[in-house]
Structure 1
Amino acid sequence: MPTARLSARLLLLLASLCAWLPPAAARQPGVPPAAAPVHAPVAGPAAQPAVDVHPEPGSGYQARALVRAQRHMLVSAHPLASQAGESILAAGGSALDAAIAAQLVLNLVEPQSSGVGGGAFLMHYAAQAQRLSAYDGRETAPAAARAGRFMQDGAPMRFADAVNSGRSVGTPGLLRMLEMAHREHGVLPWADLFAPAIALAEQGFAVSPRLHALVAATPELARQPEARRYFYDGQGKPWPVGHRLRNPAFAQVLREVAARGADAFYHGDIARDMVAAVRAHAVPGDLSEADLAGYRAVRREPVCGAYRGYRLCGMPPPSSGTLAVLQILGMLEPYPMQAWGPGSLQAVHYFAEAGRLAFADRDRYVADPDFAEVPVKALLEPAYLRARSALIDPARSLGTAPAGDPLGRLAQLGQDDAPELPSTTHLVAVDAQGNAVSMTATIESAFGSKIFVRGFLLNNELTDFSLSDRDAQGRPVLNRVQPGKRPRSSMAPMIVFRGQAPYLLVGSPGGSAIINYVAKTLVGVIDWGLDIQAAIDLPNLGSRNRATELERGTALEALAPSLEKMGHEVTVMEMPSGVHGIMIQPQGLAGGADPRREGLAAGR
C-alpha cells in the first residue's frame, strides 16, 4: 500500500493539524432517562445536605465546557491525537479509521500510556448493519512462560522489580487488532491513517506538562539506555515542557507497517529487535520471534446488561471491566440514587459498598476465558445481583466484602493478588454515518517495562497476572501465568444503548480504578441527568474492596468523618482518571474530556 499518496483534502487537513482547535460550546443538561423507576427511601444514615461536587479553584483541575458537533467527533487524551482523528473524519474516514490515526499519534505524544508495544480492547458499532463487535488485542504470555515467574524465595517479588524487567513483557497485540478491525470497518486506505503520526514523529511535537512530569517521576526510565537517550537531555534531565521532541526511529516503524501491514511489525527486523531488547535486559525475559509471529487478535461476543431502561455493553473477559461495572450498577438499581444525588453521604456509601462486592467477585472469577470458565451469565443474573445488593448495610460498611458463589465453586478458587497499576488511554469516535468506536489501549504501568526499542516502549502487561499461582490457602488462582494466556484487565470501553440506538460511548484509563471511574460517570448521566462533561467532572470515588477512596482536593473530602463513623476506612488520594465520552442526541453529538488530563473533544 502506498504511504505518501493522500488526497489533497487530507493533506490540507494535516497541514492545519497543530493549529486547529474546535469551538467550545455552552454546557447543556443531558437527556434524562425515560421511564426511570421510582424507589422508596432506604433506612440508613440521617439525610444531610449533599456537598457541592463542582470543581473549585484549588481542586487541581477546572471543569471544562461541553463540546458539541453535528456530523462527527473524536475525543482522546491529547489535543494532537484528537485533531489527527478529527482530520481523518473530515476527510471521509470512518470512526474506526479515525481511532487508528489518533491511537498512533497517542503512541508518540502520550508514550507513557499506550502504543504499538502494548494492547487494547475495542468496541465497534456498525450503524448500517446495527451490529456491535468486540475486538480483543490483549497481550499474551510467551510460550516459555511458567509458574513462579514473579516469585522469589517462595514469595511474590517486589512489584517494582517485576515491572521493570524483561519478564513483564507480553506479546503486543495492538496492531494486529487494529488491522483486523480495519479490514472490516475501514474506509480510507490503511497507509493514509499513519500519515499524521509519521509527520509528527519526523517534525517533532512539544513535550507536554504531563509527559514532562511523568518522566521526572519515573527514575527507572533513565536506567534503560535507549529510553534515556530519548526522554532526557545530555545532562540526564527530563526534556523541559515545550521542547520539540522528534522520533525518526518510530516514524520508520510506522512507514514499514503502513506499507506492509502488521506483518512488518510481527516478522522481520522489528520483531527481532523487540526480542533482542527484552533478552538484553538485566533481568531478561523470554519473548520470542515465534510468539510475535503467532499472535492473533480475537473477536469476542460483547457482554451486556441493563440499568434503568438502558442497555450497556462492553468487553467480555479477559477484561473484568464491563462485568464489574454492570455488577455495581445492578446492585445500585434497587436504591434511590436519583433522590440522593451526587455529593450525598448515602450515594457515596452505597456506591463504595457495591464496588466492594463487585471487586470481591472480580478477584475470584475473572481470567482469560480460553483458559478458565468465567461465569459471566451467573454473575449478572438479576436474582444474584439482588442477593448481593441486599448485603449492603444502610448504616455500616462491609469492610472487606466476601465473594459470592453463584455456581457453588467458591471454595475451589484462590484470591488474586495482581495490583494492576494505572496508566492506559481511552478514546471514543463517531462518524457521519453513525458508526461508533470506544477503545481503551495500554502498556500497563507508566512507561510500561521501560524497555525502549525502535522509538516505542514495550509493555509490562504480564504483571496483570496474579504474582502468585496459589493463594495463602493453597488454592489455584484463575488469573495465574500460563503460556499463551491473556492477563486479566479492568479496561472497560463501553457503548450504552437507549432502545436500539447507541446513546453514550465511555471509558477510562486508571488500572483497576477504571471500573469505578466508568461506573461513576454512568451514574452521573443515567441517575443524575448530567451531560457527559459534567458527569466526567464529578469527583472520583469508590472502593476496590479495600479502603473507600475519595478524590483529593474535592468536596467529597468533607464526607470522610461521616463515612468513618459508618466503619469505612477512608483514603483521600489523587485519582487521575482519563474518562472520555460522547453522547449521541437528536440535536447532534456532545463530547466530554477529563479535565484531570490533557484530552480534547474535537468535532464539527
Structure 2
Amino acid sequence: MDNRIVSRRRRWLAFVTSAAGVLSMPLMATAEVSFQYEAPAIEPEAASGYQEKPGWSTERFAVAAANPLATDAGYQVLKAGGSAVDAAIAVQMVLTLVEPQSSGIGGGAFLMHYDGSEVKAYDGRETAPRAASESLFLNGGGEPLEFMDAAASGLSVGVPGTVRMLEMAHEKHGKLPWAELFAPAIALAEEGFEVSPRLHTSLAAEERLRDDPLGDTFYYTEEGEPLPQGHRLENPALAAILRDIAENGSKALHTGSIAEDLVQRVQNHPVRPGAISLEDMATYVAKERDPLCTDWQAYRVCGFPPPSSGHLTIMQILGVMGHLPELDEPLDEDRPGVEWLHRFLEASRLAFADRGKFIADPDFVNPPGGDWNNMLDEEYLAERAELIGEQSMGPDGAKAGNPGEVEMAWAVQPLQPEYGTSHISIVDEEGNAVAMTTTIEAAFGSRIMADGGTGLAGGYLLNNELTDFSFRPLDSDGSPIANRVEAGKRPRSSMSPTLVFDRDSGELVASLGSPGGAAIIHYTAKALVAMLDWELDAQEALNLPHAITLGGPAYLEEGRFPAEVIEALNELGHEASERELTSGLQAIQRTDEGFFGGADPRREGVVMGE
C-alpha cells in the first residue's frame, strides 16, 4: 500500500479514536462470557454531502459497515475470536438502533458466506401474508395506489426475515454464543447513543413518520422538530426486545408478545390496514439457496440468485459490455468518460428490460429455459451487445430479449420506485467472508414503529417491502407480471451482496455491495469494474461518481461531472440530467499485506480491523 494511503489511514484512525474514555458494558447476567463489549466514544462523521475517506489497510481481518458504532461492534466480535457471521449479527443489531431508517429486525436481508471452500447464500427476504392478493395495491377503481400511500401503511408490511436468517447462518457458521452478539446493541440502546448527522437529516426530510404515534413521540421533539445531531437517544423498548431475542432466539420475534404487537399494529393501521397474521409470523422460513457464480475476466463473481435481481442484472451489464470493442481510455480525469458511460447506460437499459420481464421469486416463477444462467449465456449476451450503437436507444427503447423458453408469457413490469437499505462486508481471521445487504425498503419503512408490547419508549421500524412487488398484476393485454403480489411470495429485490474470487487459485478477492434501491445494481457493477478492471483500490473505486438508468432517462450524480459530459450524453439521446445518487458502498479487497477496505464517502460508514 503506498504512503499516501497509510498517511490518510493514520489521520483517520487518530480522528476516530481521539475521544477520551471507553465505557465498559457488562454483557448480561451470565456466569461466564467469551466476549466483553466496550462501548466506544465514537461520534459518527457528517453524512450529508461528500466526505473524503482514506481507505483502511488491515492484516488479519476487516469489517465495513454504514455507521462507526456498528462497525466497531463487528470489530470487537472479530477481535474476540468471533466469525464473520458472528460479527454480521452484532453489526445488524446495532444498525437497527443507530441507522433505523435503513435496516433492522423488522426487515429482510440477503447474506453471502464463504467458509474457505464453499459459497452459500442465505435468504431472509420478507414474504407476503397468506391473505395477500394480487390486487393488494390497487384502489377501488382498479388503479395502482400512489407509491407513498401504499408504502406508509399496513398494506406494505411483509413478514420480516432478517433475524431468522441470521439464526440459520449462525447455527452453521457461528463461533461465539448467539446471546453474546446482542450485547453491543443492548448496551447502546440502554445507555444511549448520539444521533448521527445522517439520522438527523433523514428525520428532517421525513414527513409520514410523524403520523405514527410511537415514531412521532420518539424521534421528534414536542415542537415537531427532528431530534438534533448529537442528541443522546436511549431506546429501552428495543433493548428489551433484543434481550428477549438474545435469550430465546428468533422465536421471540416470530411468536409471543413481540409478534402479537407487530400484527396488531399492521392490522389496525388507521388508514390502510395490512393482513399479516400470527400464523404468518410463526411459520416464516429462511432459506439456503444456491449462489450464482459467473466467470468474468480473470475472476469468478458470486452473487445472490432470485428473488434478487442483483447478480443477474449486474453480470448482464458487465457481460454485454465485454462483447463491445475495448476502450483505450475508459476514464477521463479520474472519472468515467463519455464513451464508457454511453456503453454502461445502454447495457443497463438492456439488462433492466430483461429484469422487468423475467426475474421474480423462484418458488413462483421458473427461469427462462429452466436455468437462470441462460440470461448470462455468452451467445445471448453477444446478441444483446449488437443492439448497442453510436446513439442511445433512449428511454423505453430497450426491449426484453429471449434468453430461453418460458412456460408463461410474462408481461413487462412497469417502472416504480425502489429505495433504502444498508450493506455489510466482513472478512474474519480464518478467511471466512460475508457480504450482507439488509433493508426495510424505503427510509423508515412503512412508517410504523413497534415496541414489542413492552410499553417502553422506542422500538423498531416495520418494513414496507411488499411495495417491491409490481402494483399492477397484469399488463394492458391481460398477461400476468412475474413479480406480481401472491400469498407467501417474496418480492423481487435489487440487493447485490457480492463475493469475488480468483478464477485460477480460487482465492477470495473481494466482498462488496451497496444500498440504493434499483441503483444498487449500477453502484455495485461500477465498483466491480473499477476494482477489478481499472485496478483502483477499494476506496478509489467507491469514490467514483455514479451514472444510472432504470430503462428511462439517465441520471448522473449531482455536481460530479462537467456540464459537457451531460451535454455529450444528451447528444447521444440519453435524456441525461443530474440528481443526488446516495449510494452506501462497502468493500473489502485482499492485498499482499492482508486487506484493504473502502467505505462510501456519501454516507457515514467506516472500516475497522487489525
Q: Deviations over 1:430-482 (max 9, x none)?
A: 10000000000000000000110010000000000000100122210000110
Q: Which residue of the partner structure matches residue 17 of structure 1?
A: 40
Question: In the TM superposition, what are the counterparts of 1:143-222 in structure 2 within 5 Å?
Answer: 143-152=130-139, 153-222=141-210
Give the 3 Å change call, closer, same or farther, for CA 215–19 of structure 1 in structure 2.
closer
2:556/2:577 contact within 8 Å kept: yes
1:356 equivalent among 337, 345, 349: 349
Is 1:466 matched up with 2:501? no
Give the 3 Å change call, closer, same or farther, for CA 183–365 of structure 1 in structure 2.
same
Is 1:124 matched up with 2:87? no
Q: Deviations over 1:277-316 (max 9, x none)?
A: 1112111100000000000000000011121121101100
Question: In the TM superposition, what are the counterparts of 1:292-331 in structure 2 within 5 Å?
Answer: 292-331=281-320
Q: Which residue of the partner structure matches residue 104 of structure 1?
A: 93
Give, in angstroms, the shift of residue 20 of structure 1: 9.9
- Matches of 2:300 and 2:256 in 1, distance apart? 44
Q: Deviations over 1:122-179 (max 9, x none)?
A: 000001xx01000000000000001211011121111111101100000000000000
Give, in angstroms, the shift of residue 190 of structure 1: 0.2
Query: 3-state DSSP class of the match of 1:120?
Result: strand
Question: In the TM superposition, what are the counterparts of 1:498-517 in structure 2 within 5 Å?
Answer: 498-499=502-503, 500-517=506-523
1:388 equivalent among 380, 384, 394: 384
1:550/1:557 contact within 8 Å kept: no
1:343/1:556 contact within 8 Å kept: no
- Matches of 1:212 and 1:219 in 2, distance apart? 13
- Matches of 1:213 and 1:225 in 2, distance apart? 20
- Matches of 1:205 and 1:348 in 2, distance apart? 42
1:550/1:556 contact within 8 Å kept: no
- Matches of 2:535 and 2:106 in 1, distance apart? 39
Higher mean displacement: 315-324 or 565-574: 565-574
Give, in angstroms, the shift of residue 398 of structure 1: 4.4
Is 1:496 matched up with 2:492? no
Query: 3-state DSSP class of the match of 2:274?
Result: coil
Higher mean displacement: 269-278 or 403-412: 403-412
Give the 3 Å change call, closer, same or farther, for CA 172–411 of structure 1 in structure 2.
closer
Give the 3 Å change call, closer, same or farther, for CA 222–357 of structure 1 in structure 2.
same
Q: Deviations over 1:346-398 (max 9, x none)?
A: 11100000100000000000000000102312101111011111110034444
2:394/2:553 contact within 8 Å kept: no
Q: Which residue of the partner structure matches residue 547 of structure 1?
A: 553
Number of residue equivalences: 563
Q: Which residue of the partner structure matches residue 426 of structure 2?
A: 429
Q: Which residue of the partner structure matches residue 276 of structure 2?
A: 287
Is 1:416 matched up with 2:441? no
Query: 3-state DSSP class of the match of 1:122?
Result: strand
- Matches of 1:307 and 1:560 in 2, distance apart? 30
Q: Which residue of the partner structure matches residue 18 of structure 2?
A: none
Query: 3-state DSSP class of the match of 2:402?
Result: coil
Give the 3 Å change call, closer, same or farther, for CA 539–81 of structure 1 in structure 2.
same
Q: Which residue of the partner structure matches residue 329 of structure 2?
A: 339
RMSD (Å) for aligned C-alpha atoms: 1.8
- Matches of 1:443 and 1:517 in 2, distance apart? 19
2:364 equivalent among 371, 376, 385: 371
Higher mean displacement: 563-572 or 446-455: 563-572
- Matches of 1:529 and 1:86 in 2, distance apart? 27
Higher mean displacement: 246-255 or 412-421: 412-421
- Matches of 1:437 and 1:7 in 2, distance apart? 28
1:17/1:87 contact within 8 Å kept: no
1:539/1:556 contact within 8 Å kept: no
Give, in angstroms, the shift of residue 340 of structure 1: 2.3
Give, in angstroms, the shift of residue 553 of structure 1: 1.0
Give, in angstroms, the shift of residue 338 of structure 1: 6.0
- Matches of 1:556 and 1:303 in 2, distance apart? 38
Higher mean displacement: 524-533 or 329-338: 329-338
- Matches of 2:345 and 2:392 in 1, distance apart? 11
1:81/1:101 contact within 8 Å kept: yes
2:85/2:174 contact within 8 Å kept: yes
2:39/2:184 contact within 8 Å kept: no
Query: 3-state DSSP class of the match of 1:555?
Result: coil
TM-score by structure 2 length? Answer: 0.90
Question: In the TM superposition, what are the counterparts of 1:397-416 in structure 2 within 5 Å?
Answer: 397-399=393-395, 400-409=397-406, 412-416=409-413
2:129/2:275 contact within 8 Å kept: yes
Higher mean displacement: 425-434 or 334-343: 334-343
Q: Which residue of the partner structure matches residue 596 of structure 1?
A: 602
- Matches of 1:85 and 1:6 in 2, distance apart? 23
- Matches of 2:564 and 2:52 in 1, distance apart? 20
- Matches of 1:337 and 1:63 in 2, distance apart? 29
Query: 3-state DSSP class of the match of 1:475?
Result: coil
Question: In the TM superposition, what are the counterparts of 1:126-145 in structure 2 within 5 Å?
Answer: 126-127=115-116, 130-145=117-132
* 2:481 aligned partner, one-letter code: V
* 1:360 aligned partner, one-letter code: A
- Matches of 2:28 and 2:238 in 1, distance apart? 15
Query: 3-state DSSP class of the match of 1:602?
Result: strand
2:491 equivalent among 483, 487, 497: 487
Higher mean displacement: 347-356 or 410-419: 410-419
Q: Which residue of the partner structure matches residue 237 of structure 1?
A: 225
Q: Which residue of the partner structure matches residue 41 of structure 1?
A: none
Give, in angstroms, the shift of residue 16 of structure 1: 4.8
Give, in angstroms, the shift of residue 412 of structure 1: 1.7
Query: 3-state DSSP class of the match of 2:101?
Result: coil
* 2:561 aligned partner, one-letter code: A
Give, in angstroms, the shift of residue 407 of structure 1: 2.0
Is 1:451 matched up with 2:448? yes
Give, in angstroms, the shift of residue 21 of structure 1: 10
Give, in angstroms, the shift of residue 418 of structure 1: 5.5
Query: 3-state DSSP class of the match of 1:156?
Result: coil
Give, in angstroms, the shift of residue 558 of structure 1: 3.4
1:404/1:410 contact within 8 Å kept: no
Q: Which residue of the partner structure matches residue 17 of structure 2?
A: none
1:20/1:83 contact within 8 Å kept: no
Query: 3-state DSSP class of the match of 2:35?
Result: helix
- Matches of 2:44 and 2:281 in 1, distance apart? 39
Q: Deviations over 1:80-100 (max 9, x none)?
A: 000010000000000110010
Give, in angstroms, the shift of residue 406 of structure 1: 1.7
Query: 3-state DSSP class of the match of 1:304?
Result: strand
Question: In the TM superposition, what are the counterparts of 1:85-100 in structure 2 within 5 Å?
Answer: 85-100=74-89
Q: Structure 1 residue runs of 4+, over 4 Å off?
A: 6-9, 19-22, 408-411
Give the 3 Å change call, closer, same or farther, for CA 337–318 of structure 1 in structure 2.
farther
* 1:142 aligned partner, one-letter code: P
2:256 equivalent among 264, 268, 291: 268
- Matches of 1:461 and 1:518 in 2, distance apart? 21
Structure 2 residues not aligned, in runs of 5+: 1-26, 452-458
2:565 equivalent among 559, 570, 578: 559
2:72/2:608 contact within 8 Å kept: yes
Higher mean displacement: 190-199 or 567-576: 567-576
Query: 3-state DSSP class of the match of 1:412?
Result: coil
Is 1:71 matched up with 2:60? yes
* 1:542 aligned partner, one-letter code: I
Q: Which residue of the partner structure matches residue 539 of structure 2?
A: 533
